Structure 1
Amino acid sequence: MTELGRHIARREISSLEATQALLARIAKLEPELHAFALVTADRALDQARAADAEIARGIHRGPLQGVPIAVKDLCWIAGAPTGAGMAPGLRRIATEDATLVRRLKQAGAVLIGKTELSEGAYSDHHAAITPPSNPWNADYWTGISSSGSGVATAAGLCYGAIASDTGGSIRWPAAANGVTGLKPSWGRVSRHGVAELAASLDHIGTMARSAKDAGLLLGVIAGSDDRDPTALQDPVPDYLSLADDGVKGLRIGIDADWNTADVNDETASMIANAIATFTALGAEFVAIRMPDVTQAIADWTPNCAIEAAVAHEATYAKHKDQYGAILSAVIETGRALSATDYQKILLRRAEFRGRVNALLTTIDVMLTPVQPFAPLTLADIQSLGAQPALIAKLQRYTCPFDMTGHPTITLPGGFTAQGLPMGFQLVAPHLGEARLVRAGAAFQSVTSWHQQHPLA
């Protein structure tokens, strides 16, 4: 993304040429990958022509000008349908742009399409939708729910994509597809014009081929917003300009027991290699003890369920027959939860957040796996409903940091013996996204995992 942006700014490549090339690639690969809910070809070509015309007149909007990207189909684009992974009959034409879409347009980005996702951004795709296919191996999971964003970015159908994460939906697809995923602090990006799953758990972030690209995208969409009073007021750093500061002296926390307990050999080896790489770059490792996550993981589902019931209150009663079984079940769980039980969840969540906050004051970032096992096959995923212990294991390193709202970055860290990508994550204190981009860029300056592509 950053490289293409420089070429476009120098008029060495036109935005129109880049956009036409991607549309041709989408036409070739999308029938097999199903990454997009909607390809906005005509709009994208018009935006590319406008970007080229502005650059020719000396109007420069920044490093994203003329670069084709995608947005997850939770985000409103005026005049275009928003599906949110729901049944076709529940799609609605947006009358305005989401705040993040408006900011992307102001930055001169070309919006090439809207990426597919699981139903309502929860854990399963609606029966009317063909799920995205993993470009590395179609028999393997693409992650949820930002699977379309991960597939499109990995397969070279866009230069980056907007994504969201409520329980792991940036980190799982980033790891499964071999791309970089940046989940910022809760509230760092406005949620105005973004369909909700669970308001206090939903994090809007970015997916890209590199940490620098992910940081560039975040810098464009982040910031306060009068239309979303929960959006944070803190100034937005220039993540891209800070990306080359290196990690010498950076204190990276490691809970060796938590990182290795019931973790498969390939994942453990990836984590060990990441530690060795950061050590060679000058980072300092600090032994830490992560607070017990068991209750936080158990509380995530009912917490998400009651907020999903609120998010779907206006449509669920009237259109229940158009909802899939899994999303219906979580909404019903939320509707049945008592106020007393919900209050207990909130109190436990606040206590857990406080413990993690205190831990993160002692270090700069924390290093953990994204998941404790090798990439999952589609057959594994289909059996998850009957294996609650496996679900909890999958959520071990993701859900806790949605419950606390802390930022994370997922980085490609290796491949399995079967040739499937794997990823690990760094976690930072509140509003520590600049550290994550900096650490990710340093790691990627001496490794090439993020440069591997699944398709020619």
Structure 2
Amino acid sequence: MHYLALSELSILLRTKAISPVELVKHMLNRINALDPQLESYVTVTAQRALEQADRAEREIGSGRWRGPLHGVPLAYKDIFYTDFALTTAGTAIHKSFQPTYSATAVRRLEAAGAISLGKLKTTEQAWTEHHPTVAAPKNPWGAELYAGASSSGSGVATAAGLTFGALGSDTGGSIRFPSAVNGVTGLKPTWGRVSRHGVFELAASLDHVGPMTRSAVDCAIMLGAIAGADPADPTAVHDSVEDYQAAALRSVAGMRIGLPRVYATEGVDPGIVAVWQAAAKVFEDLGAIVEEISFPEWRNAASTWPILCSSETALTHAATYPSKSESYGSALSALIDLGRSSTAMDLASAQHARLEFSSRLRAKFSNLDVILVPVTIWPTPTTAATADILQISPLEDLLRFTCVFDSTGSPTLTLPGGFDDRGAPMAIQLIGAHFDEAAVLQAGAAFQRATDWHSRHSRHFP
């Protein structure tokens, strides 16, 4: 039962075919048995999960059904405040931090009846590398494979059947990379669609909060619970929250999908290009109007993204860096140092590049519903090779399909799209217009009804 889609599980819980209590016991036993190998969890909140399961069983049994998340076990990236467990952000400086309240997104999921299994590992403060004191999660498709950053634990636990969905965050690709390499579905909503209250910041104007699940429909269900205005976060928009689950059931016949061929193929591994082309063919066969498009010049926006990110990260850490720099890992230290050394003119130039690219991308959606692109330029690397890749590849190339859409705040959906000859997952990505999560979920769910990449799991963890 641990590999059921959340949407499938919900029906079984509502009809009492599965007991929430027995389900949680099964999940806790699976975590205890497998997570010592995978190392995806920081904390397992077993007692809370069992108490919530008992409450859900009584409520469902008496006809008080809260909705599709009622009785569903979930887990949260360890940058989300929880008043029932430590929130370390993968750092040494916050290793003993116990919040007095829970993040809005966590509270909303629990209010919808979700059961909290625990907290999942993150790279240090959601940047690129795990703190030297933290063991990185292992990719369930192969222990030697990169597990992604920064929502690594969320990707691994969801892929290995240790949770039915997870919360992640994305500043430069941190939902999309772990989703792509672990073979799960990840939604980065529009910036402002989901409250960031009670979430450790990396770079506030770039940080996005979203779900990581096994399907687009599951992402739609979780988004429906966490989206919407929040008095505690003035940047959370007041736009109405759609019925995303209903949108995910719609056909894509007549939907307009743009293919930016040069952007998606130049300097990209042929295997990644083949997966992207095959996905376009699936959409065409489903009746979508698929057409090649020109794409805005992206390099300036990508190459200046580190200035935006590092400057805001330096501000986030002003109280503890450099005064406690000995407690920081080298990667996060380097990012903060870049931000502290950047000038006002550097930041202004980066902001201009951000605004120009955002405007040009927004114009593309005047006659398109979604844009189809890859997620990475390379197949899933080994963990050992990742450090070398980061050293020799320009950051704007590595992040070309991710960071620019954090700068614009655009909604994106990452979907499993196939496997390479080693059996490692490969992925595609859908980009939508601002606050049109319904369109990317509609397209993604249709793709998944026509393919089965998202329903496969690693033979190492049956």
Residue 396 of structure 1 corresponds to 400
Deviations 1:298-317 (A, max 9, x none): 11111100100111112224
Matched, 1:239 2:244: yes
Conserved 8 A contact 2:354-2:408: yes
SS, match of residue 384 in structure 1: helix
The equivalent residue for 1:329 is 334
Partner SS for 1:313: coil
Q: Which amino acid aligns with 1:206?
A: P
Relative to structure 2, which stretch is displaced further, 307-316 or 427-436?
307-316
Q: List gaps (5 residues or longer) in structure 2.
A: 1-5
Q: Deviations over 1:114-149 (max 9, x none)?
A: 110100100111000000000001111111001110
Deviations along 1:162-216, one digit per CA (max 9) or x if unpaired, are 0011001111111100010111000110000000000000010111010000111
1:310 has 2:315 as partner: yes
Aligned to 2:144: 139
- For the aligned residue pairs, the C-alpha RMSD in angstroms reads 1.1
Map of 1:20-169 to 2, 5 A cutoff? 20-87=25-92, 90-169=95-174
CA distance in 2, matches of 1:61, 1:83: 31
**Is 1:253 paired with 2:258?**
yes
Q: CA deviation at 1:243?
A: 1.2
How much does 1:388 deviate?
A: 3.7
Seq. identity, %: 46
Q: How far off its partner does 1:89 sit?
A: 5.4
- Shift in CA distance, 91/361, structure 1 to aligned 2, threshold 3 Å: farther
In 2: Cα distance, 1:385 partner to 1:423 partner: 20
> Counterparts of 2:344 and 2:277 in 1: how far apart (Å)?
44
Show structure 1 runs of 5+ residues with no match.
Answer: none
- What per-residue deviation string (whole Å, max 9, x for no partner) do you get for residues 420-444 of structure 1? 0100100000011111111111011
TM-score normalized with structure 1 length: 0.98
* Paired letter, 2:125: G
* Stretch moving more, 261-270 or 410-419: 261-270
Please name the residue that 1:299 is paired with. 304
Task: Answer yes or no: is the 8 Å Cα contact 2:87–2:94 preserved in 1.
Answer: no
Q: Deviations over 1:376-422 (max 9, x none)?
A: 11122121342142x33221111110010000001100000010010
Superposed displacement of residue 255, structure 1: 1.1
1:146-295 to 2 correspondences below 5 Å = 146-295=151-300
2:431 is equivalent to residue 427 of structure 1: yes
> Matches of 1:190 and 1:89 in 2, distance apart?
22
SS of the equivalent of 1:82 reads: coil
Which whole-Å CA distance do the structure 2 matches of 1:88 and 1:193 have between them? Answer: 17
What is the correspondence of 1:357-372 to structure 2 with a 5 Å cutoff?
357-372=362-377
| C-alpha distance in structure 2 between counterparts of 1:135 and 1:145, whole Å | 16
**Residue 411 (1) aligns with residue 415 (2):** yes
Letter in 2 for 1:406: S
1:379 corresponds, among 384, 394, 407, to 384
Q: CA offset at residue 79 of structure 1?
A: 3.4
Deviations 1:310-349 (A, max 9, x none): 1111222442211111101111111121222212211221
- Give 1:88 deviation, angstroms: 6.3
Number of residue equivalences: 455
Q: 2:307–2:346: 8 Å Cα contact kept in structure 1?
A: no
Amino acid at match of 2:441: V
Contact 1:181–1:206 (8 Å) recurs in 2: yes
2:350 matched residue in structure 1: 345
In structure 2, relative to structure 1, the CA distance for the partners of 1:89 and 1:409 (3 Å cut) is closer
Q: Which runs of 4+ in 1 moved over 6 A?
A: none
